[in-house]
Amino acid sequence: MSLKLQSDYYDKLDNRFYTITKPSTVSNPVLVLFNSTLASELGMELADLDMKAEIFSGNYIDDSWTPISQAYSGHQFGYFTRLGDGRAVLLGEWKDKNGYLWDIQLKGSGRNAYSRGGDGRATIGSMIREYIISEAMHGLGIPTTRSLAVVQTENKVRREVVKTGGILTRVASSHIRAGTFQYAYEVGGIGLVKQLADYAINRHYPHLDGSKDRYLNFLDEFTKRQAKLISLWMSKGFIHGVMNTDNMTISGETIDYGPCAFMDYYNPDEVFSSIDTMGRYRYSNQPKIGIWNITRLLELFVEIIDSNEEKSIAKLSEIIKSFNEYFSYYYSMLMRSKLGLVKEFKGDLKLIEELLQFMYANNLDFTNTFRILSQNNYKNEEVFKHINFLSFEKKWMERLEKEESNIEKAQKIMKNHNPQIIPRNHLVEKAIREVEDKGDYSFVRIFMELLKSPFDYSKKIPEGFLKPMDLDEKVNYKTYCGT
């Protein structure tokens, strides 16, 4: 059995965009997680277990493949630097039954030209983390890179302590980032930016091919996708943690699950990332960082959009302004849906903010508050007898009447937008500990099965998967890059 991959696209770009790289071989690879659902969606038939371990560890490279590591740059916490796939290899592109291309990438595959002194490896724990959260994001309906497989190796990886090695197979619409365009401008100017833009339009925005103002329209649609993506994060309490320009994909998919986390207790200034000491990427600041990142991309196109610099800047400035409109539209719609509201009325965001402020003042869990409100027995909960909640509830009921709805109708809508279960931080950590300390994957598999259908209220979720982290534990909890 071999995986039929092609390399007819990205590696036909200027060779400064990549370096041909073979993964480093590993000792005794064992396939510990395989996403058969994703494999089926992609139309992959991979029955040979031993061969899967060889392929997804990088030990087997078919003669027809041209594996590469991609170059890119990026603003990390506001500071520009040259980067690249320091621990990843793109094996090639898989074409599904609909003719759509998917990147098949190994993460943790060893040193390459972009490793910058690092070992290019990954710990099994960090790869388990990405597998869990990326697939949970998919279950929540948030555009994301996907995880196809995790291989455990006997190779040891030195971080703060020596740990067992792991390799993740990541599937993505592509791995082109805003930072890839920054790299193109840095090494080749507008010529290389245009070449990459043509490639990105062809792959992700083919309806724009041949259209007038195609580059301007491309940037506008990219901005719209980012606004929608960030509003989806916010509506589910997700904090990315490293919103650098190299982690903003042109496809509009979430990428990089290192220091990310889902909020338990609602706090607009919540930060979990150990490296975000100034709170740059805190929960409430994510829309602002979205604009900042998009601006860094748009400024590369000033010479391309119009030969008159003043006119070009004016056109690009309109796109930057449009982010707020797009974000406001998506965020308002998503948050209304969490309260079972369909139509738009003046004052909706104020109503939503009143509930969020109540949650913040009372240390309420973000996901559980909306989950409980989505069910008929929410009035039995002591916290919902609080005078401030009763004030909110009265306005909420009046608002439902405006669109000729009621709480029963609203709760049917709410259950489609308020998940029962999310990949809570302490549960992700438990899954990692079980693997690292005992080599036991049973908890990971149980957890993943529950995360597949987070909106299915007919499914009974064990109580232990619903509880937030204890407040005392949360005070010192941090997430890490794992690199």
Report CA-CA distances (Å) from 208 to 12, 175, 205, 348, 403: 21, 20, 6, 35, 38
Q: In this predicted structure, what is the pLDDT of residue 162?
A: 86
Q: Is residue 355 in a domain?
A: yes
Q: Is residue 205 in a domain?
A: yes
Q: Is residue 477 in a domain?
A: no
In a shared domain, residues 54 and 164: yes
In a shared domain, residues 349 and 230: no
Q: Is residue 439 in a domain?
A: no
In a shared domain, residues 347 and 320: no
Report CA-CA distances (Å) from 45 to 40, 198, 247, 447: 7, 33, 31, 25
- Is residue 349 within 8 Å of residue 332, measured between CB atoms? yes
Q: Is 246 tagged catalytic?
A: yes
In a shared domain, residues 48 and 146: yes
- Does the pTM exceed 0.85? yes
Report CA-CA distances (Å) from 347 to 185, 324, 433: 44, 18, 46
In a shared domain, residues 227 and 160: no
In a shared domain, residues 194 and 314: yes
* Catalytic position from the list 246, 256, 276, 365: 246
* Angstrom distance (rounded) from CA 349 to CA 160: 45
Closest CA to 143 of 174, 112, 100: 174
Tell me the β-bridge partners of 282.
none
The domain boundary, picked from 154, 172, 190, lies at 172
| Residue 155, amino acid | N
Instruction: Give the residue numbers spanning the domain of 152.
Output: 10-172
Helix %, strand %, coil % for the chain, to 5? Answer: 45, 15, 35
| Residue 63, amino acid | D
In a shared domain, residues 164 and 270: no
Count of CA atoms in the C-beta half-sphere (13 A) of 302: 10
As to burial, measured by CB atoms within 10 angstroms (0-12 exposed, 13-18 middle, 19+ buried), residue 161 is: exposed
* Angstrom distance (rounded) from CA 104 to CA 169: 7
Phi, psi of 13 (to 5 degrees): -75, 175
| Those residues with Cβ within 8 angstroms of residue 414's Cβ, 6 or more apart along the chain or in another chain | 337, 338, 339, 340, 370, 373, 374
In what helix (H) or strand (E) does residue 174 lie, and over which residues does it extend?
none
Largest CA distance in the chain: 70
Q: Is residue 457 in a domain?
A: no
H-assigned helices in 205-298: 214-235, 286-298
In a shared domain, residues 242 and 363: no
In a shared domain, residues 293 and 346: no
* Angstrom distance (rounded) from CA 480 to CA 387: 40
Closest CA to 165 of 183, 179, 174, 152: 152
In a shared domain, residues 235 and 292: yes
Q: How far is CA 78 from the centre of its chain?
A: 20
The domain boundary, picked from 172, 204, 221, lies at 172
Q: Is residue 290 in a domain?
A: yes
* Angstrom distance (rounded) from CA 186 to CA 200: 18
Closest CA to 205 of 223, 229, 187, 181: 223
* Angstrom distance (rounded) from CA 247 to CA 265: 26
Q: In this predicted structure, what is the pLDDT of residue 2?
A: 57
- Is residue 260 within 8 Å of residue 247, measured between CB atoms? no
Measured between its terminal Cα atoms, the distance across the chain in Å is: 32
Domains identified in the chain, total number:
3
Q: Is residue 405 in a domain?
A: yes
The domain boundary, picked from 283, 316, 335, lies at 335
In a shared domain, residues 330 and 406: no
Report helix, strand or coil for 155. Answer: strand
Q: Is residue 470 in a domain?
A: no
In a shared domain, residues 324 and 197: yes
Sign of the four-CA dihedral 159, 163, 166, 168: negative
Question: In tens digits, what is the pLDDT along the chain, a chain of 483 residues?
Answer: 457 887 767 778 999 999 999 999 999 999 999 999 999 999 988 766 678 999 999 999 999 899 999 999 999 999 999 999 999 999 999 999 899 999 999 999 999 999 987 788 999 999 999 999 999 999 999 999 999 999 999 988 887 788 899 999 999 999 999 999 999 999 999 999 999 999 999 999 999 988 889 999 999 999 999 999 999 999 999 999 999 999 999 999 999 998 999 999 999 999 988 888 899 999 999 999 999 999 999 999 999 999 999 999 999 999 999 999 999 999 999 999 999 999 999 999 999 999 999 999 999 999 999 999 999 889 999 999 999 999 999 999 999 999 999 999 999 999 999 999 999 999 999 999 999 999 999 999 999 999 999 999 999 999 999 999 887 777 677 777 655
Q: What tokens does 207 get? A: 């309806």
